[in-house]
Chain A
Amino acid sequence: MLLTSYSIMMIMMLSTIIMMLATMLSKKQIEDREKSSPFECGFDPKSSARLPFSLRFFLIAVIFLIFDVEIALLLPMTIIMYTSSIMMWTIISTAFLLILLSGLYHEWNQGSLEWAS
């Protein structure tokens, strides 16, 4: 465990070192107002980039959240199989998956998967 954490730290250090190295190697900076402004095909940026936002992306993230939670519930199932009653396991997992599937079809039917409406 300790060895693993050391090696994870080592990889973190390695990627940081590469980035630092790049910063040090590319020290021939010529400061320029235009160069350090956000790239906008030759125009000056009119407004902050962070204001406009399409809500579709947020809704997709919400749907993803539901499915990810369900995947998190599905993950231990295969390991549980070896230590539990196979009858109960079959019933529960099949019921869970069927509910998941019908939930997906319901979402589809209600049109929450439509991208452009």
Chain B
Amino acid sequence: MEVKPKSACDTCAHFNAAGLKKLGVDTSSFDHVIALAGNPNTGKSTVFNALTGLRQHTGNWPGKTVTRAEGGFEYNNEKYKLVDLPGTYSLLSTSEDEEVARNFILFGKPTVTVIVVDASRLERNLNLVLQILEITDRAVLCLNLMDEAKRNDIEINTRTLARDLGIPVVPASARYNEGIPELIQTISEVANGSIVCKPHRIKNIPKNIEKAVEDLSVEILKEYPDMPNSRWIAFRLLEGDQHIINLLRTGEFEEYIS
């Protein structure tokens, strides 16, 4: 059943196939934490399996991953822990799965967040992508289900997409193991800082909101100089997210990380 990566990357100097070791569930010690996020039914679990060599059950219906799954792989002598988050359409509401995903990306401090999207439904998927890019600085877009997009005559310019989003974009068909070597290489480059992301920030916001977010953000940074995502915290405070308010009060971010 082991499918050999067929891509040209396999033979390319950039991808070091010999340096890849799928570690399955062994996540004992690791150098980097990678979060796997995305809309439901975009193939996150398939990507997860392709990366870790695990065979977590995948299925063609939304909401299949109910608990957080973890796995690992080793690439170029560095160990990566991969966390498969429940699929969500957004991070703005209060349902339980969104909270798990949101809190992990916010406080779990993943080294890199891989956002898996359905290439044939990119516009709808970007809603979540743009929200995640508000939270984190280091992300990779995995443009999955490229086979389906091709079947539906959809062409995507990955270069302009990467430029607009400010993060690397890797086209893939995880079901056929296509694009996975490139994805691993890109993850490692972002993790090691050889690719620096300049994530897109939401632009079409009314001036008054933008101003409020800025003011609040400044205050938050005064109190928590290390807060990497003060802008998002400001969004949540304006939203009146009781969870975040409580967290600020108690200062117990760590509790929500695990």
Are A and B subunits of one complex?
no
B binding-site residues for A, Cβ under 8 Å: none
